[in-house]
Chains A and B, each alone.
Chain A
Amino acid sequence: MGEFIKAFEFIANNGAIAGQHSLPSLTQLTLETLKVAAIGVAISVAIAVPIGVWLGHLHRGSFFAINLGNIGRALPSLAVLAIGDAFLGLGLTVVEVALVILAVPPIITNAYLGVDGVDRDLVDAARGMGMSEREILTRVELPLAVPLIFTGIRTASVFVVSTTTIASLAGFSGSLGDIIANETSYHFSGVLGAAICVAALALAVDWALALLQRAVTPRGLRLQGEAKVGVGAPAPGLT
């Protein structure tokens, strides 16, 4: 347990190592990690939510939307990053592309399942009330699909934070993973301290998004929504 005490000292010193002044501070690396992850999540959401929602609205492409999620899971993030590194060189752009490749599938799958699963009777009722297709999508289907869409975004965000740290193993620098990948400079206590920070960061991101999810979920859905704790596509998605 001595190592844990040293690790917390490392955190308390904001990542300062005696005799090494050029190393970035923990705060700096945490902010960098968040920045890299946030860009990746933002791009993925911009790409994947419209596709998933649109496919769900048309009730088409279930095979594509569901299997995409399963294939995404099989991609080892280290290999994706390493291959990006080999062919394009590992700059921020390549890391972001890898993050998007890994984050898009769960968002599409969940957005699809969310919109596709909206009660058809409700949609018929909306149509009967004279709503246009656009109104049906924005005022009926989207609000009802919010819990699942957000589940996808949460899954993807945690995954992206995790992958951002793994990028350090593939040679990218600019995340908390840099410390874990560099035991020579930071010693084991630093590595352990960084691991604690990474774990805390991922949990914080997940909780922050859970709060946001609650805030944007229509009030009427909140009670039912409570049941849906967790990550990833629900089991019935796997066929």
Chain B
Amino acid sequence: MRPRREIGPTEATEVSALAASGPVIPNFGANSSKCVVENRFFCGEWVSKNWDSVLWPALRQHVLLTAIAVGIGFAISMALALAAHRYGWLERPTILATTTLYTIPSLALFELLVAPVGANIFAAEIALVSYTLLILFRNILTGLREVPDEVLDAAEGMGMSRRQTLLRVELPLALPAIVAGLRIAVVTIIALATIVYTIYNKGLGVPIHTALGEGPFKTELIAAGALTVLLALAADGLLVLLQRALTPWTRAR
């Protein structure tokens, strides 16, 4: 129906069948080092040689996939949460819908989207966005609801309009909960985006897939796996710094 590469480790089975009989000698190119040919635990030299051509592009794509998903997911969740904050009855149906989306396993959701959308970036992003909604919606709404009544009364007493109260009082006070939600969403999406390769050949799932087909080639697996985890930790750390910068008053306590 559409040109797409085989996503399962088809070559892997045949190579691991060889592994039973003798040392695995995958063909990593004519000038592979001994470490790579013997498929040792980790070959730093392979990483530096393939950083520019393999790992760095995959990492960049992974960041982009995540950023688009969290960006769009945040905009949708914010709109939904503001609506549910004003019209309370919207909360239950939204939670129900987003929980259902969140429950569908990633591998299945990607394929389900391929039929109507095609095996492309749109299918990938729709799936990733749908995984952010539950987390972000719930956290933004919780943050908005936890603003103390006295504060709202004070805002009203100062003559603030509904819009001013929202922008100058409620949203700033909800920031810690919102950022907490963003942290969970970003980390979750970074981990999930490794499955994107099954429908759209981008992201850190690509080197993992290649490595699985070659033996599996340990260095590439470890490098790509570690990059994914490090990216998640780095993004999480950045968001903590962002929160500190945005909410200086929370540190005084």
Contact = CB atoms under 8 A, between A and B. Distances in A.
B194 interface: yes
B247 interface: no
A183 B111 CA distance: 11
Interface residues of B, number: 68
B108 A229 contact: no
B9 A170 contact: yes
Contacts, number: 175
Nearest to B181: A235
Contacts of B125: none
B95 A198 contact: no
B8 A181 contact: yes
Contact of A3 (B1, B108, B218, B232): B1
Interface string A205-239: 01000000000000000000000011110010011
B90 to A, nearest CB: 14
A195 B195 contact: no
Interface in B215-247: 215-218, 221-222, 224-225, 228-229, 232-233, 236
A20 interface: no
A182 interface: yes
Give the 6 A-B residue pairs with the shortest CB-CB distance, closest first. Answer: A181-B8, A79-B225, A162-B105, A195-B111, A74-B232, A198-B108
Contacts of B106: 162, 166
Contacts of A43: none
A70 B236 contact: yes
A162 B225 contact: no
Interface string A74-101: 1111111011011101000000000000
Question: Counting chain B CB atoms within 10 Å of each CB, which of A3, A86, A239 scores highest?
Answer: A86
Contacts of B6: 182-184
B170 to A, nearest CB: 16
Interface in B130-168: 134-135, 138-139, 142-143
B115 A199 contact: no
Interface of A: 1, 3-4, 7, 70, 73-80, 82-83, 85-87, 89, 158, 161-162, 165-166, 168-171, 177-178, 180-184, 187-188, 191-192, 194-196, 198-199, 202-203, 206, 229-232, 235, 238-239
Nearest to B99: A230
Interface in B85-140: 92, 95-96, 99-100, 102-112, 114-116, 134-135, 138-139
B108 A238 contact: no
B225 A192 contact: no
Given A74-B187, A78-B208, A79-B208, A202 B104 contact: yes
A171 B16 contact: yes
Given A75-B229, A80-B225, A232-B135, 16 more contacts: A3-B1, A73-B184, A73-B191, A73-B232, A74-B236, A79-B229, A162-B105, A165-B105, A165-B108, A166-B195, A182-B8, A192-B112, A231-B103, A231-B134, A235-B142, A235-B177
A235 B225 contact: no
Contact of A85 (B95, B209, B216): B216
Nearest to B100: A203
Given A75-B229, A78-B205, A181-B7, A203 B103 contact: yes
A70 to B, nearest CB: 7
B140 to A, nearest CB: 10
A199 B209 CA distance: 23
